[in-house]
Amino acid sequence: MEVSTLSKALAAVARCRGDIAGAFRMSLARWGEGSPATLLLRAAITTGALGDDHAFAAMIAGVPTQSIIAAIDRISPWRRAAPNVPVLCESAPPQASWRNEGQVIAVSSADFETVRVNADKSIAGILVFTVEAGRELGDAFMGQLSNDAGGAINYAESDALLNPANDGTGTAPASLTHDAIKVQSTGSTAEAIRNDLATLLAQFGGDMSRAVWAVSSRTATQLALHGAALGSADVNVTGGFLAGLPLCAARGVPDSVLALIDPSGIVLFDGGAQFATSEQSMLTMPDGSVRSLWDENLGALRFIRVLDWQAGRAGCVAAITGIQWAT
């Protein structure tokens, strides 16, 4: 298993009992001054946490349960934003027009929607491990632990992004499917699914050339079972193509939803993630009990990822909801 830069840095911190400066010196001696792990630890001395966006992206790419946000972005990029910076989204895709040289140039789009993401919500968690495992098993163990953290992050982001019941009043941004165009599932046969897909495609208001399907891994396998009966379906557990459009699948997306998204109409802030380890903290467990890491010879990996999104163009998300044939 290839160990990511972030996992190497976390292993060094674990071996040094949470001392980032000590981990930096260890990495410097072991991997050299120009090593990505050493550079990551050098930056963490100031911030107190490992939080390089590139290192996090590399780690997420290697997690067995993929990020639906990253998977879609690789095919059709989201409209990126920064916290509290207003972004203008055209209500319709911009257009260009021919003109004679010297004529006035027309504005490509005269109707805008101002979108501002606050980036005031985050996905967070704490994983507990034995100090002996963190020290003795080293990079490979921390790689497994970071995979666990990445999988937990990916599940939480997928559910929040595409669960129609998420109206944004809780601790996550409102789902893209909550106020989206909705088509109620009419059945489980290939004919019923084809008809639902045709209805959705007719109502979809986004740019079809940029559109991507998003489904759960379980829903993807059920689509694969129908195969050619759906007209055009080349689907596997992580993605493929459906009705000629690319499809991304991930654990955490509700099984009852099949969404079509034009990411160019979605304003997204992705702050990456920060990781920190400790062997001296007091942890409050889900049952309310308090446990001392030091007393029990345990370590803890804390992860925080800041994410926010908002639809900036009406019609750029449509979803078949109420699917029962995927479970």
Contacts of 123 (CB under 8 A, 6+ apart): 152, 153, 156, 157, 304, 305, 307
**Lookup result for tokens 């193509």:** 241
Look at residue 65 and tell me whether its pLDDT is greater than 70: no
Confidence category of residue 195, pLDDT binned at 50, 70, 90: very high
Look at residue 52 and tell me whether its pLDDT is greater than 70: no
Look at residue 23 and tell me whether its pLDDT is greater than 50: yes
- 226: nearest Cα among 249, 201, 243: 243
pLDDT of res. 1: 36
pLDDT of res. 221: 94
pTM over 0.95, yes/no: no
Look at residue 38 and tell me whether its pLDDT is greater than 80: yes
Kindly report, residue by residue over 281-314, the tens digit of the pLDDT. Answer: 898 888 888 989 889 988 888 888 899 999 998 8
Look at residue 59 and tell me whether its pLDDT is greater than 80: no
When mean pLDDT is compared across 40-49, 188-197, 214-223, the lowest value belongs to 40-49
- 258: nearest Cα among 311, 207, 185, 189: 185
- 245: nearest Cα among 256, 257, 234, 237: 234
Kindly report, residue by residue over 213-240, the tens digit of the pLDDT. Answer: 999 999 999 999 998 888 878 999 999 9
Look at residue 64 and tell me whether its pLDDT is greater than 70: no
Q: What is the mean pLDDT of residues 3-14?
A: 73
> Domain residue spans in the chain?
5-70+120-163+268-306
